[in-house]
Amino acid sequence: MKVAGIYLAVGQSRRRGEPKLSQELSPGKTVGGAAIQQLMRCGIDPLIVVVRADDPLGWLPSASEDTERWRTETSFTAHLGLSFSLRCGMNAVLPAKPDALLVAQADQPLIQADSIERMISVLREHPELDFAASGNDGSPMPPALFNKTLFPVLERLDGDKGAKEIFESSDYRGVVLEWGSKGGFRKEEAAEKDKGALKRPRK
Amino acid sequence: MKESYRFKGGFILLFILTLVLAGCAQQSSTPPEPANNTNNEAGSNAPADETPAAEPEKELPRVAFVYIGTPGDGGWTYEHDQGRLYLEEQLGIKADVVENVPESADAERVITELAQNHDIIFTTSFGYMDYTLNVANKFPEVVFLHVSGYKTSENMGTYFGKNYQASYLSGIAAGKMTKNNTIGYIGAFPIPEVIYNINAFTLGARSVNPDVTVNVVWSNTWYDPTIERQAAESLLDKGADVLLAYQDSPATLQAAAERGAMAGGNGSDMTRFAPDAYLTNPVWHWGPYYVKVVQEVIDGTWTSEPYVGDLNDGMVGLAPLGPSVPEDVKQLVEETKQKIASGELHVFTGPILDAAGEVKVAEGAMMSDEEILSSSWFVQGVEGTIPQ
């Protein structure tokens, strides 16, 4: 199963005047860049990092790190809603004809490679599923892996709608993989609190 | 639409990772249930409604604009955005806008993204032409309108106006206002659109002041106020006391004002940026055209065409002459405007000589629209080169 990825880094959040994605979790590892390094360990190819046109991109991993498999794509339409950034990424990634598409958001620095690999494994073993999403106390959330059966649906999302309506629709079959409390997929807000005591996903 | 079904007994099955394998094995053996489709399609078992159904309200199309700059440029993009606002007000549409889109492969990506969920797309810079056409060929159900270009297809039209008419009028004002007969002109790119406007401007200036020369420099940008200012200052250094700029910002006017010269810009009334130094310049009024096109699409009557507006339909206009321009000049410009609008005066009527003094248009002859739109030479009085 060929898995491609879209890493949505189009937010403009700042903390204390500094872009959140540029904040360092540890020396050399930024909030925005940490997950890219993990995703690269999962065989995702290509990974499209969707960025804003005005982003100086200082948070990206160094150019020497797997840049053959990941690249940036500038979303000029990011302000029109998340769906436009997603389409920007999909237009870049679909020519590679992937079987599944991982969609992750850049404010989730605690993404772990082995968690993503589990997600891929589930979809590989159960190709009848349309998606595998991460869980947050039962609620599906990114990162999520979408079977190619859902690509046309993802392309039709509108405005600021993310994949929530897909997760909630009875039209599609999916699983939610709960990684445990304070586990790997919590958002960046949690990351600050948990810094230094990051928990790996339960196995 | 994909066949509807869901996991038995749950809206979304929740797996704890430790149970993933077992959980999936159980579910994969569960046959999917048919969807509980409560949405009866037309022609289902529902009894026929005996009363005729009211005609459904026409859905408003989704409209998007692609801008080369921002509305804050005070010129070209500002006027397109004014047109967009007019469209929204007239038809109750909320259009999407994408700003600062380079004339590169990025443009094709942006236009593609918009085409995926819009019905009408206006691409508002010449350099978007091929990218617009490429996307139009892939999305035959979407209507594309490209400004100032010359390529069309069944679902792609073009629109522009005879702004050279207003350039001629600006030239009259410049020819009257220069004291040393040295005028400067900052051109964006050496393309026919800019060349024929420089020519019309020069013809207008020399129609009232045969001693005028128009020095041309190219900025190679539509919108870069810093480069535009540098170009303007270079012309002022060469002695120009009146400047015109085929650019998208008021930087030329501001530079001229600081040096006691007069100037005009392009596309929009720029009086507010330097009233005393302001001459005039061609302006655009896109709003009525935008309303016309979108209404035609709504009505199902739109067909592809190369639309050309002018002083008569109002797509092209001339900004009010600045407060420093004397009344007699204003009157002369107004009288000439009426002659052009009435058809009494055609800007490109011979004899017209090129910069080398050779006759390009014989006395009494008029350049055709095709000849104007493919202009590649300067008229007599222009000093500058056209890079090939």
pLDDT single digits (tens) A119-138: 999 999 999 999 999 988 77
Quick one: pLDDT at residue B20? 32
Q: At CB < 8 Å, which residues of chain B contact A?
A: 1-2, 4-7, 11-18, 20-21, 23-24, 27-28, 32, 35-36, 96, 98-101, 106, 109-110, 112-114, 116-117
Contacts of B99 in chain A (CB under 8 A): 76
pLDDT category of residue A186 using cuts at 50, 70 and 90: very low
Looking at residue A181, the DSSP 8-state letter turns out to be: T
The CATH number of residue B224's host domain is 3.40.50.2300
Which of A83, A138, A170 is facing B6, going by the closest CB pair? A170
Given a cut of 90, whether residue B93 has pLDDT beyond it is yes
- Which tens digit of pLDDT belongs to each residue from B299-323? 999 999 999 999 999 999 999 999 9
What does the mean pLDDT of chain A come to? 83
Quick one: pLDDT at residue B30? 31
Quick one: pLDDT at residue B40? 35
Q: Which residues of B73-104 are buried (b: 16+ CB within 10 A; e: fewer)?
A: bbbbbbbbbbbbebbbeebebebbbbbebebe
Q: Is residue B262 part of a domain?
A: yes
Quick one: pLDDT at residue B56? 62
Q: Are residues B370 and B257 located together in one domain of the fold?
A: yes
- Hey, are the CB atoms on B5 and A173 less than 8 Å from each other? yes
Question: Going along chain B, which residue ranges are E strands?
Answer: 13-16, 63-66, 96-98, 120-123, 143-147, 156-161, 182-187, 213-218, 242-245, 262-264, 282-284, 306-309, 316-318, 352-353, 359-361, 382-383
CB of B377 within 8 A of CB of B386?
yes
Q: Are residues B208 and B355 located together in one domain of the fold?
A: yes
- Mean pLDDT computed over B281-300: 97
Q: Is residue B150 part of a domain?
A: yes
Contacts of A170 in chain B (CB under 8 A): 4-6, 11, 35-36
Tell me how far the alpha carbon of residue B54 is from its chain's centroid: 40
Least confident piece of the model among A85-99, A163-177, B329-343: A163-177
Q: Are residues B189 and B275 located together in one domain of the fold?
A: yes
% of chain A exceeding 70 in pLDDT: 84
**In angstroms, what separates the C-alpha of B2 from chain A's closest C-alpha?**
7
Distance CA A73, CA A50 (A): 5
Nearest residue of B to residue A127, measured between CA atoms: B28
- Mean pLDDT computed over B243-272: 96
Q: Is residue B341 part of a domain?
A: yes
Q: Is residue B277 part of a domain?
A: yes
Distance CA B198, CA A28 (A): 55
**In angstroms, what separates the C-alpha of A6 from chain B's closest C-alpha?**
16
CB of B283 within 8 A of CB of B318?
yes
Q: Is residue B7 part of a domain?
A: no
Q: Which tokens sit at A36?
A: 């890219």
- Quick one: which of A203, A11, A1, A3 has its CA closest to A107? A11
Q: Is residue B49 part of a domain?
A: no
- Hey, are the CB atoms on B112 and A135 less than 8 Å from each other? no
Range of the domain at B91: 63-161+286-309
Which of B7, B17, B100 is facing A177, going by the closest CB pair? B17
Type of residue at B100:
N
Q: Are residues B205 and B262 located together in one domain of the fold?
A: yes
What does the mean pLDDT of chain B come to? 88
Q: Are residues B300 and B377 located together in one domain of the fold?
A: no
Quick one: pLDDT at residue A200? 26
- Hey, are the CB atoms on B27 and A126 less than 8 Å from each other? yes
Q: Are residues B104 and B187 located together in one domain of the fold?
A: no
Q: Is residue B198 part of a domain?
A: yes
Q: Is residue B44 part of a domain?
A: no
- Hey, are the CB atoms on B17 and A74 less than 8 Å from each other? no
CB of A169 within 8 A of CB of A162?
no
Q: Are residues B116 and B234 located together in one domain of the fold?
A: no
**In angstroms, what separates the C-alpha of B371 from chain A's closest C-alpha?**
37
Number of domains in chain B: 2
- Mean pLDDT computed over B185-199: 96
Q: Are residues B108 and B195 located together in one domain of the fold?
A: no
Given a cut of 90, whether residue B59 has pLDDT beyond it is no
% of chain B exceeding 90 in pLDDT: 82
Walk me through the domains of chain A, giving residue ranges and CATH numbers. Answer: 3-194 (3.90.550.10)
Distance CA A118, CA B43 (A): 46
- Mean pLDDT computed over B163-170: 98
Number of A–B residue contacts, CB under 8 Å:
99
Q: Are residues B304 and B339 located together in one domain of the fold?
A: no
Nearest residue of A to residue B25, measured between CA atoms: A126
Q: Are residues B118 and B260 located together in one domain of the fold?
A: no
Q: Are residues B229 and B330 located together in one domain of the fold?
A: yes
Distance CA A93, CA A47 (A): 8
Distance CA B190, CA B233 (A): 20
Given a cut of 90, whether residue B32 has pLDDT beyond it is no
